[in-house]
Structure 1
Amino acid sequence: MSGEPRTLHNFINGAPAAAEETGDLIDPVTEEVFARAPLSGAHEVDTAVRAAAGAFERWRDTTPAERQLALFRIAEDVERRAAEIVAAESENTGKPLGLTLDEEIPMALDAIRFFAGAARTLEGRSAGEYMAGHTSWVRREPVGVCAQVTPWNYPLLMAVWKWAPAIAAGNTVVLKPSDTTPVSTLLTAEILAEHLPPGVFNVVCGDRGTGRALVAHPGPQMVSITGSVRAGKEVAAAAAAHLKRTHLELGGKAPVIVFDDADPAAAAAAIAEAGYFNAGQDCTAATRVLAGPRVHDAFLDALVGQAKNVRTGPPGDDGAAYGPLNNVAQFGRVAGFVDRLPGHADVLAGGRRARDRGYFYEPTVVGGLRQDDEIVQNEVFGPVITVQRFDSEDRAVEWANGVEYGLASSVWTTDHARALRVSRRLDFGCVWINCHIPLVAEMPHGGFKSSGHGKDLSMYGFEDYTRVKHVMSNHEEA
């Protein structure tokens, strides 16, 4: 790598703001330092929260039409600068440039525009006289300052899912991106600053200590995080001190139930795409397959064939299906799961580093697994798909539900009654039928159990950033 790594800054009160300490950002493709980002402490966090609190006094009084127009203009600029944003996102993550432009930018734009529309469509109960001589009605109001923490797997998209509904509802935001992927978030902050008053959207970069300082600060009234179960538990515990609202979108271990009547080749092709996309670094990824007794062998053969035809590579490789794992710790975690496989497990494809340099890992298929195996029970968050053979519908549902997670799942069958029956029994916040991973802005995304609570996307996600107030008026003279 040539040249001195550039230094990034926080974005507070409408302008870049330096921090006292910085840390290295590592390019996951080259394993070299490409920038230095702030390691924000209590002072920087306090400055950002105070800026957001001051801006809230004005922003909450804007009309829904004003907030909608600002978001529409932001979307126009994001679309106009899409190539620049994709380059920043790829520098963060090593993602393929073409795939990111084609897949993630349209989703981000759609979410911004959806919440722009949502700003003007909040509904409530009609006013009425529920006590003689009194009229009651319900107001939906913004919560206040929202602390938001985003992950490294989708830095741009997960940030949009958080700040767009919060701002549309009249809140202000202090957002902490992952310590490994702040670049696209800081670029987005510059775009937002062109259309929002100073302090409405602030970014503080840093590590877990920064996140803890933000969550523990008494200023924010709500904390939203997308991250691991461990991180979600820490946020919930810290937020409890001030009884803050929490919105937790945490890990997943999505079961993919392939019944005997499914087309094994078609299912394998779709599941491989949904399992290896973004190097499997997706909490909804199709990485835990449960296959029926008669379809199992044919499906497994087809899936292995798919894996052998999938290629990982650097951002400019147009034929690459995915890029590297995000950081050296995650590379070690994924490799560790495969290295610790029990003797009864079979690695049928992959299972190794893919290139001499960078955090690339081969598309991997593991068979012969049992329900209590570590790799079945825990989220790998990498390009590793496991396959188990079940013997009955009841067993499939039992195994599907038999993990601590409850985010997403899918059912593959031509039997409509079975699809409906099984979708009702699955204890997951989303169930796809004969597909896996498509998301739309109109439908909620969020989980049960250790996968957290609260919804992203949809009007449910928008309402999470509002509070309900009852107002009652006495008709009688005082």
Structure 2
Amino acid sequence: MNTNHYLMVEETSVNSRLENYINGSFVAAKGTAELEVLSPMTGERVALSPVSDAEDIDAAFAAARSAFASWKSVTPSERQRCLLALADRMEQHSDELVEAQHRNTGQPRRIIAQEEVAAGADQLRFFAGAARLLEGRGAAEYLEGHTSYVRREPVGVVAQITPWNFPLMMAIWKIGPALAAGNTIVLKPAETTPESTLVLARLAGEVLPPGVLNVVLGDGSTGQLLTEHDTPAMVSITGSVRAGQAVATSAAKAVKRTHLELGGKAPAVVFADADLHKAAELILTFGTFNAGQDCTAVTRVLVQDSVHDEFVELLAAQAAKLTTGELDDGLNDYGPLNNVRHFETVCAKLKNIPDHATVITGGVPPEGGRGFFVKPTIITGVRQEDELVQEETFAPVLTVQPFSTEEEALTLANGVDYALASSVWTTNQGQAMRMSRDLDFGCVWVNTHLLLVAEMPHGGFKSSGYGKDLSLYSVEEYTRVKHVMHALD
């Protein structure tokens, strides 16, 4: 098992070439095409990454198939031991994981350490325990003279595709439940953020049998090869609606199971009786965390009209306190947008806001600066049909809309295609309960937002996809149910 071949861990060189991790070793890709991995802090190249081709994908799936033959029969207690050991190694190599990810994302190092490494280790420990808690209906004689019971089995080899906004966290959310349930994996990280996943793969190779976890690098064409391959019984992706639709269409041809987490357009519904100062502070924090590149981030602020103007002023005051764009990331509340294509898309949206809307603070970044930074942006006067309201911006951009009644708030909140997350801000418990019931989102927070725990499910409805991450529900996603009946005579 080769554990020392990852070129980018100890030092950065623009000539370093990343490699796939297949069957317990780092191996050069057969595909000849390469991608530049750029630092979003400066726009400079930090590595070269291969575009894996069909031969690379075949090799990864062959390794996963071979490993599944034995891994599926490993006892839950042994799978638990492996996941606990991987969690320990993550914490021991926290600095290494942080630096690898910071090069690709520009996220503040302390945030990577807290929100992805430490949180990821904790989530792995949850999945380690969940490996021993899979349940089925108890054995009984539902038909006279026959005993029936249910087996929960791993689905087999799974293909997984992770996004660039939280590379390490999303890798943990994918591999944790899949490994706990006894599956083997071929995972492709986003093309702009491969490095922390490669470090994770190396650490996993120290505790898992070869072939249980494989990582292939590449772009959308590599992802298409992954989803169209004959081997995987399931494809899981976190990404855009367009990417999810492509995966679902491809998987449908072979009737493969899919797990789709496809983004959000989260509203924060603020009633006049809420603690407005606290709500403004937290909503700005939750709307700009990770530069707004979070599917659950507050993007739409709906405020009762009697306090609308006051609340906008409070939001603007909070926005003025936030810092980004400093090369010393210790001073930053959040970092840059991840890549130049996304940065240009966001800038285009900010340059073309409707005439009826008003930018209160923030807006288009000044030209000529290094890196892909966007200041906290608050926009009022938007209409429900505006693109800024209906489509995911994935940036530190918040729109504000007034409402008069609870019914109008629900109409505005639910009036988008996304249905991942939402929050309601009020001191009226009856109102909070009604809103929690009627908000059409996979998660509703009350007087908070964005916070996640390993024990509770994360996932949406409508165009936000289907399937759950985190919790025992996510482990069940990676299992199949088999009925077994024994004749007693």
Scaled to the shorter chain, the TM-score interval is: over 0.9
Cα deviation, residue 264, structure 1: 1.6
Whether 2:297 is the aligned partner of 1:285: answer: yes
Aligned to 2:315: 303
Q: CA RMSD in A?
A: 1.2
**TM-score of the aligned structures, taking structure 2 as reference length:** 0.96
The amino acid of 1:440's aligned partner reads: V
| Number of equivalences | 476
The amino acid of 1:395's aligned partner reads: E
Cα deviation, residue 344, structure 1: 0.9
SS at 2:330 equivalent: coil
Unaligned runs of 5+ in 1: none
Q: 2:340 aligns with which of 292, 308, 328?
A: 328
Q: Deviations over 1:16-39 (max 9, x none)?
A: 111132211111111111100110
SS at 2:153 equivalent: strand
Aligned to 1:375: 388
Q: How does 1:127-166 map to 2 (within 5 A)?
A: 127-166=139-178
Q: 2:215 aligns with which of 172, 195, 203?
A: 203
CA distance in 1: counterparts of 2:314 and 2:160, whole angstroms: 41
Q: 2:258 aligns with which of 220, 232, 246?
A: 246
CA distance in 2: counterparts of 1:290 and 1:197, whole angstroms: 51
CA distance in 2: counterparts of 1:473 and 1:132, whole angstroms: 11
Q: 2:22 aligns with which of 12, 34, 46?
A: 12
After superposing the two structures, state which structure 1 stretch, 104-113 or 313-322, moved more.
313-322
Whether 2:470 is the aligned partner of 1:457: answer: yes
Q: Deviations over 1:72-92 (max 9, x none)?
A: 000000001111101111111
Whether 2:205 is the aligned partner of 1:190: answer: no
The amino acid of 1:348's aligned partner reads: I
Work out whether residues 95 and 315 of structure 1, in 8 Å CA contact, stay in contact via their aligned partners in 2.
Answer: no
Aligned to 2:132: 120
CA distance in 2: counterparts of 1:5 and 1:259, whole angstroms: 55
Cα deviation, residue 3, structure 1: 5.1
Cα deviation, residue 315, structure 1: 6.4
Work out whether residues 351 and 364 of structure 2, in 8 Å CA contact, stay in contact via their aligned partners in 1.
Answer: no
Cα deviation, residue 240, structure 1: 0.5
Q: Deviations over 1:291-313 (max 9, x none)?
A: 00112111100001111111113
Q: How does 1:424-463 map to 2 (within 5 A)?
A: 424-463=437-476
Aligned to 1:408: 421
CA distance in 2: counterparts of 1:99 and 1:159, whole angstroms: 17
Work out whether residues 261 and 413 of structure 1, in 8 Å CA contact, stay in contact via their aligned partners in 2.
Answer: yes
Work out whether residues 377 and 397 of structure 2, in 8 Å CA contact, stay in contact via their aligned partners in 1.
Answer: yes
CA distance in 1: counterparts of 2:89 and 2:118, whole angstroms: 13
Percent of matched pairs sharing the same residue: 55
Aligned to 1:235: 247
CA distance in 2: counterparts of 1:208 and 1:378, whole angstroms: 22
Aligned to 2:7: none
Work out whether residues 12 and 46 of structure 2, in 8 Å CA contact, stay in contact via their aligned partners in 1.
Answer: no
Cα deviation, residue 103, structure 1: 2.4
Q: 1:365 aligns with which of 353, 374, 378?
A: 378
Unaligned runs of 5+ in 2: 1-10
CA distance in 2: counterparts of 1:32 and 1:106, whole angstroms: 29
Taking a change above 3 Å as real, the CA distance of residues 316 and 44 of structure 1, as seen in their structure-2 partners, is same
CA distance in 2: counterparts of 1:76 and 1:313, whole angstroms: 33
The amino acid of 1:167's aligned partner reads: L
Aligned to 1:398: 411
SS at 2:305 equivalent: coil
Q: Deviations over 1:310-349 (max 9, x none)?
A: 1113564322111110001110111122111111101011
Work out whether residues 249 and 452 of structure 1, in 8 Å CA contact, stay in contact via their aligned partners in 2.
Answer: yes
Aligned to 1:274: 286
SS at 1:7 equivalent: coil
CA distance in 2: counterparts of 1:249 and 1:38, whole angstroms: 26
Cα deviation, residue 393, structure 1: 0.9
CA distance in 2: counterparts of 1:335 and 1:308, whole angstroms: 20
The amino acid of 2:185's aligned partner reads: V
After superposing the two structures, state which structure 1 stretch, 2-11 or 17-26, moved more.
2-11
CA distance in 2: counterparts of 1:79 and 1:167, whole angstroms: 19
Q: Deviations over 1:200-224 (max 9, x none)?
A: 0000110000000000001000000
Taking a change above 3 Å as real, the CA distance of residues 2 and 408 of structure 1, as seen in their structure-2 partners, is closer
CA distance in 2: counterparts of 1:368 and 1:319, whole angstroms: 32
Q: 1:79 aligns with which of 91, 96, 101?
A: 91
